[in-house]
Structure 1
Amino acid sequence: MEGSTPVNSRTVEDVFIDYKGRRAGLIKALTADVEEFVRLCNPDKENLCLYGLPNEQWEVNLPAEEVPPELPEPVLGINFARDGMHEKDWLSLVAAHSDAWLLSIAYYFGARFGFDKSDRKRLFNMINDLPTLFEVVSETAKKQSKEKSSGVNKGSNKSKSSSKRGNEPETLRKHSKEVPQLKNENGEDEDDDEESETLCGACGENYSSDEFWICCDICEKWFHGNCVKITPAKAEHIKHYKCPSCTNINNKRARV
């Protein structure tokens, strides 16, 4: 399959880098690029699979023809259930199967490269420190549902809180977009540790107060500056930020 790990990559770190790349690609498919992903999963086509590639990209394609395949294959026929389930439930189901596929790929390499018990345990711990795809997709769906039900406008979702980044330089607080402050049932601000539930729309990893984040003014998803190649200096000159996914959608519409 395209983008498979080189044979000379034999360390736990090599396999984990491969895992993270494939995981990032799958997260894009199931969150940032979900409209394109849904479109490609046409139930009228044959058994389709969702592949995450090591270069952080994804593709929907037919399974490999060779038997046995070079690598473990994802679950077949994800497209057949697309129109028979609620979209949120379908995406969560695909995410759960994709989690299992990512683990099977990682442990296939572990077996192939002769990892011993300590190496396998270290690999599992590195993987287990990251949220699962199912958790990322469920959290994204939950946030979208809350935003729709609350009827909050775009401006209120981007209110800035100096208490969250009080130890940062003034220029960074001024030009970076703050992660929305969460509220409890009484309308009061929740503890700061709730910030960790905010996930990057590109890599799916948690918010950290020592990292620069930026919010897309179109889809309102949050991104690490590094993931979308935006620095605090660049952010100073951006009035309305559009993430790569929203930019691509607008470009496609313009061409039509």
Structure 2
Amino acid sequence: ILNSGVISVLTTSHAPAIPTIPSRPCILAAPSRTFFLDLNCLSFMEMASTPRTVEEIFKDYSARRTAIVRALSQDVDEFYGLCDPDKENLCLYGHPNETWEVTLPAEEVPPELPEPALGINFARDGMNRRDWLSLVAVHSDSWLLSVAFYLGARLNRNERKRLFSMINDLPTVFEVVTERKPVKDKPTADSGSKSRGSTKRSSDGQVKGNPNPKFVDEGYEEDEDEHSETLCGSCGGNYNADEFWIGCDICERWFHGKCVKITPAKAESIKQYKCPSCSLRRGRP
């Protein structure tokens, strides 16, 4: 127990009670001594260390993702060797400290966190190595999302959207393993959809989409040039996926956010965006 990093805790009568677990001592055996630990205090410690905010959950997701990417890329030979088909059901875990592990699933039912795909080792020798790694990557992506949204169960609607947006800005494990490059959403001159951050806000403070949205399809490299001719209505510059753009609800032209002095944060609070030309035109008698 000591070698695995478990910390002994001494509780007092002043410690707040956690109602979710009956108060009873738990005996932790060590080679030379025995510790008595109040499970209420342990529950409090676990609750305090569990990621709760969007930023904390995203940090946890990023660390686990980094670990799995390393297992399937830098450490792929070691990972491949550990997934012996003759062993029992094995899982690939990514931990918050950016380490990975191939091991048996947790014995607790239900487990503390969602479990990754079970038995990834069984298909190893029956598939092409690259295809097998891709399959593990797909299941790992699914597991990473399930853990993130399990931890984010108490987030509200807008926080969940923000968390997913942050996650979606990173390449998936599958994309990294297969070296497949995602193409970001691109606005079009004839589209009524808004770029990220340019959503509309209703009177109750909830974020909602355009009343008549036309969504830009997501794709990969084959769709890369689909909307490459979109020009900024202010400077005439070409569309750049790395820059924030906003569309005018009146003339439906698109603009660099920097050209019209609109940031993604400011766009969130705009109910209906009018470009400078339309604002000037509507302001005349």
Q: Could you state the TM-score of these two structures normalised by the residue count of structure 2? A: 0.46
Within 1, Cα distance between the matches of 2:173 and 2:134? 8
Which structure: larger Rg? Answer: 2
> Which of 105, 108, 118 is 2:158 aligned to?
118
> Which of 79, 96, 107 is 1:54 aligned to?
96
Aligned to 1:71: 113
Within 2, Cα distance between the matches of 1:10 and 1:135? 28
1:136 paired to 2:172: no
AA at the equivalent of 2:111: P
Using the aligned pairs only, state the percent identity: 68
Within 2, Cα distance between the matches of 1:107 and 1:7? 16
4+ residue segments displaced more than 4 Å: none
AA at the equivalent of 2:55: E
Within 2, Cα distance between the matches of 1:82 and 1:91? 9
1:86 paired to 2:96: no
Within 2, Cα distance between the matches of 1:58 and 1:7? 23
Aligned to 1:30: 72
AA at the equivalent of 1:11: T
Aligned to 2:269: none
| RCO higher in structure (CA 8 A, sep ≥6) | 1
1:11 paired to 2:53: yes
Structure 2 matches for 1:169-188, cutoff 5 A?
none
C-alpha distance after superposition, 1:17-70 (max 9, x if no partner): 000000000000000000000000000000000000011110000000010000
Aligned to 2:140: 98
User: Higher strand share goes to which structure?
Assistant: 2
1:41 paired to 2:112: no
TM-fit CA distance, 1:6: 5.1
What number of residue pairs does the alignment pair up? 137
Structure 2: gaps (5+ residues): 6-44, 181-285
TM-fit CA distance, 1:10: 1.3
Aligned to 2:167: 127
TM-fit CA distance, 1:7: 2.5
* Aligned-CA RMSD value: 2.0
SS, match of residue 7 in structure 1? helix
Structure 1: gaps (5+ residues): 141-256
SS, match of residue 122 in structure 2? helix
C-alpha distance after superposition, 1:170-206 (max 9, x if no partner): xxxxxxxxxxxxxxxxxxxxxxxxxxxxxxxxxxxxx
C-alpha distance after superposition, 1:110-136 (max 9, x if no partner): 11xx10000000000000000000000
Within 2, Cα distance between the matches of 1:6 and 1:122? 25
AA at the equivalent of 1:106: A
Within 1, Cα distance between the matches of 2:156 and 2:139? 26
Within 1, Cα distance between the matches of 2:124 and 2:92? 13
